[in-house]
Amino acid sequence: METFTKTKKHHAICLPLPLQSHINAMLKLAKLLHFKGFHITFVNTEFNHQRLLNAVGSKSLEGLPDFRFKTIPDGLPSSDINTTQDILALLESISKNCLVPLINLISKLNEESDDPRVSCIVADCTTSFALNASEKLGIPGVIFLPVSPCVMASYLHCQVLIDKGLIPPIDKRTPANWYPDMPITVIPGVRDIRVKDLSSSFGDENDFVHNFSFRAIHESSKASAIIMHTFDALESEVLNAIQPLLPPIYTIGPLQLLEQNIPNTHQLTSLRSNLLEEDQKCFEWLDMKAPNSVVYVNFGSTTVLTKQQLIEFAWGLVNCKHPFLWVIRPDIVIGETAILPPEFTEEIADKGMISGWCPQEQVLGHSSIGAFLTHSGWNSTLDTICSGVPIISWPFAGDQPINSRYSCFHWGIGMEMDKDVKREKVEGLVRELMESDKGKRMKEKAMEWKKSAHESTKAGGSSYANLDKVIKEVLA
């Protein structure tokens, strides 16, 4: 591929869902395609492009002659560039308003540019309107699934769950024998999850999030292929179960590790995608800590806490007596600025560090990190697997409860915390993970999964091979 001349290069449009974790994953995939010889146009919303400019600077978005950043409007009114957009409003708007701007952008690229004609679209599964664009243009449309395939399997079998009474219709009285911990055993390939591990909106036909997700998953069947951000050894059962139901599936992950196959000297390494400015000072602090001694705390880019939850986490971390690095976004508390009590600030002077945002992959790879208190978003789950760090999981919403269940119950790499946050529980779980024999066994399991993830992304590994296969069989 890399010997192609400019006129023969294939040109991929890469379209992420305009949320931080989805942009991160898609950019990694786009870099890999570029490294394999593709011309790339990476499409952000105008709002997020401006946020990226503010966070990483214009130099990081200048791109390369054959890797360019373009924008389309998201259809929402103007809002504060320093805050996260309302997710529900954003999802509804892009599903209604982004198809025409995307087609217009591609037409403009084909008509007015000296670049190769657009030859394929790689779109986040939640931007399935892009499949309409690929069909209209007569080019392959590939869906990228940046979440666990267990989530896709759940939505593919939604009606079965309703028919079995596991998901009671929202307008009917809950059956007497129903309870949140009720096991779900009717989704092929998905083991030992509970009703409460599904999204809170799952099965509610009156709920926008359910309808949006259900439609996105089922419209994936129209794609030329589906790229899944996982690796075969991690989720073989569910992958085998859903393959007959879908277009060709290519497991290409963890992208965090595949990206490391791109030499550090390559120009792609300068391209970044954080919507929040990263704090590099945390590494000076981590360098002073003993190996495996620090608890890293990060609940992702969209999770929100109540003020009381923030305080309970704070005192639990102080009382555990282990050093901690805690990422607290400015908008992490619902409806107000995240302000910790003055006495807490005094207590952590020598044992804790607060950061607004930090480069998570590098932090988890630091030798001082011994545990990760996480919301169990899929990117964070793969980050911790890649680094061999055990977790304390506090899932918030969406796919996070399923990720948490698999991490703690199936993969054996962590412990789950109740939604009702209490400082005593936070302290106890941290101590148990960092100090007990049970915690040591979880560290050992985390290191085993790290080895497996690395093997999948090396030459001869399943994900390494699948990247070449999807290019040869679908995209090229």
**pLDDT one-digit tens code per residue, 258-317:** 999 988 766 776 777 776 778 889 999 999 999 999 999 999 988 889 999 999 999 999
List Cβ neighbours of 72 (8 Å cut-off, separation of 6 or more).
43, 45, 46, 98, 101, 102, 105
Predicted confidence (pLDDT) per residue in 2-11, tens digit: 432 333 589 9
CB-CB contact of 279 with 357 (8 Å): yes
What pLDDT shows up at residue 447?
98
Ranges 48-52, 104-108, 426-430, 456-460: which has the least confidence:
48-52
Predicted confidence (pLDDT) per residue in 394-424, tens digit: 999 889 999 999 999 999 999 999 999 999 9
For this structure, is 207 an active site residue?
no
For this structure, is 22 an active site residue?
yes
Predicted confidence (pLDDT) per residue in 14-41, tens digit: 999 998 889 999 999 999 999 999 999 9
Predicted confidence (pLDDT) per residue in 173-208, tens digit: 566 667 788 889 999 999 989 989 998 788 788 888
460: pLDDT confidence band, cut at 50, 70 and 90? very high
What pLDDT shows up at residue 271?
74
166: pLDDT confidence band, cut at 50, 70 and 90? confident
Average pLDDT of the chain is 89
Domains of the chain: 11-150+201-270+460-475 (3.40.50.2000), 280-435 (3.40.50.2000)
Catalytic residue among 10, 11, 22, 375: 22
Catalytic residue among 74, 124, 331, 383: 124
List Cβ neighbours of 32 (8 Å cut-off, separation of 6 or more).
252, 255, 258, 259, 261, 262, 467
Q: Strand pairing partners for 393? A: 374, 416
pTM: 0.92
Mean pLDDT of 358-375: 96
